[in-house]
Amino acid sequence: GEDVEQSLFLSVREGDSSVINCTYTDSSSTYLYWYKQEPGAGLQLLTYIFSNMDMKQDQRLTVLLNKKDKHLSLRIADTQTGDSAIYFCAENRTGRRALTFGSGTRLQVQP
Amino acid sequence: ETGVTQTPRHLVMGMTNKKSLKCEQHLGHNAMYWYKQSAKKPLELMFVYSLEERVENNSVPSRFSPECPNSSHLFLHLHTLQPEDSALYLCASSQDWRNDQPQHFGDGTRLSIL
């Protein structure tokens, strides 16, 4: 398909792990990104992974990349209420001058 | 603090008004972008500037007019807008316009058209 696809909503309990999934479109994308958007704010770059990597870990965040399936995931360990936000994945699609974003996954963390 | 500042944060205007959105980046980047974020729609790229030169206009209506006087400042001039133009307008910057560079976003201007 043409779209970067994400599920719309995820609800977890505080302290659990969250896994947000994304399917991208261009197998030649060299970088894949995760952004976080809190209410009333812009998009904050969380992390990104180069396409020749399978995994990248940064404190509580783990990014997994499956190039064969064009599947990207973001795992947040020990999810906190402050992690409640919308999470966007993005790819640098060949021939486009800017990143292509998914529609975002709203993460709700319940106490 | 992302290094990208947008003003105003909120703007309410009538359809016949003229107003401008301002974006300033303090990151030393050479590329700047305008995006439109509407409810329940993916982020829409509007314009891309590289070193003050417009390198992409993504089929945006002429009632939106961008201006980039230098690599640190970007404006979006608005006139005769429609109700469907109500949205969050986000500015971003990156080191250059090659799309393998991460983009850094401002907090946006929430625009409401009466």
The model's pLDDT over A15-30, given as tens digits with 9 standing for 90+, comes to: 999 999 999 988 888 8
Strand order in the sheet with A61-66: A5-6, A18-23, A71-76, A61-66, A55-58
Q: Answer yes or no: are the C-beta atoms of B55 and B99 closer than 8 Å.
A: no
Neighbours of A25 (CB within 10 A): 14
Which residues on chain A are in Cβ contact (under 8 Å) with B99?
92-93, 96-99
Task: Say whether pLDDT at A82 is over 60.
Answer: yes
The mean of the pLDDT values for chain A is 92
pLDDT of residue B99: 65
Comparing alpha-carbon positions, the chain A residue that sits nearest to B33 is: A98
Instruction: Tell me which of B38, B99, B104 to substitute to probe the interface with A (most A C-beta atoms closer than 10 Å).
Output: B99
The model's pLDDT over A17-74, given as tens digits with 9 standing for 90+, comes to: 999 999 998 888 889 999 999 988 899 999 999 988 999 999 999 999 999 999 999 9
The model's pLDDT over B35-83, given as tens digits with 9 standing for 90+, comes to: 999 987 888 899 999 888 888 777 899 999 999 999 999 999 999 999 9
Whole-angstrom Cα distance, residue A65 to residue A49? 8
